[in-house]
């Protein structure tokens, strides 16, 4: 089984990638890291991402992407990897601030979120470097330049 996508769009923002782009990016990334299972990509507004960030990360501010790994209940197995929740407004603002392509930043956020579902993290410097190397490798598969070339942090 490969990654199967469910895309949800409760966001009112219309300046987001279309489903075909999201599917293409996620298929390239998931094949490169041998990810398997269902992934839901939920595109949300600032209010929802702030509420989720407050509830699950104890941070009362919006963020670009949150990843929620699915954990099977005892005695059950589901082919579900997890959920990626992406804030359209924050991704657009970051792309503008960093003067990068909006679609490239969207692809980066999806790669970043998928890596979180696979156990990557950036809490410690060595972990962050390992994760960044994987992100650069995945994005290069789509001919997207190194997002860390200017050393601007993407994490919020």
Question: What would the pLDDT profile of 137-152 be if each residue is shown by its tens digit?
Answer: 999 999 998 888 765 5
Cross-strand pairs, 85: 42, 66
Question: What would the pLDDT profile of 94-110 be if each residue is shown by its tens digit?
Answer: 999 999 999 999 999 99
**Signed CA dihedral, 24, 20, 56, 50: sign only:** positive
| Domains contained in the chain, CATH given | 3-140 (3.40.390.30)
Residue 149 pLDDT: 72
**Residue among 84, 126, 80 at smallest CA distance from 108:** 84
**pLDDT exceeds 60 at position 155:** no
**pLDDT exceeds 60 at position 156:** no
Average predicted confidence (pLDDT) for the chain: 93
Strands of the sheet with 37-44, listed across from one edge: 3-8, 37-44, 80-87, 65-69
Question: What would the pLDDT profile of 26-52 be if each residue is shown by its tens digit?
Answer: 999 999 999 999 999 999 999 999 999
Cα angle 9, 45, 136 (rounded to 5 degrees) comes to 80
**pLDDT exceeds 90 at position 114:** yes
Pair 48, 30: CB distance under 8 Å? no
């Amino acid at each position: 089984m490969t990654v199967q996508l469910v895309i949800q769009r409760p966001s009112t923002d219309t300046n987001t990638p279309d489903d075909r782009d999201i599917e293409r990016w996620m298929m390239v990334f998931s094949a490169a890291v041998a990810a398997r299972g269902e992934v839901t990509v939920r595109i949300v507004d600032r209010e929802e991402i702030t509420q989720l960030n407050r509830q699950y990360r104890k941070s009362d501010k919006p963020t670009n992407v949150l990843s929620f790994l699915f954990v099977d209940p005892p005695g059950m197995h589901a082919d579900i990897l997890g959920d990626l929740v992406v804030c359209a407004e924050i991704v657009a603002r970051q792309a503008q601030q960093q003067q990068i392509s909006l679609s490239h930043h969207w692809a980066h956020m999806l790669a970043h979120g998928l890596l979180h579902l696979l156990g990557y993290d950036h809490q410690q410097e060595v972990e962050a470097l390992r994760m960044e190397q994987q992100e650069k490798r995945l994005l290069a598969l789509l001919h997207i330049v190194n997002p860390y070339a200017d050393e601007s942090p993407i994490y919020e």
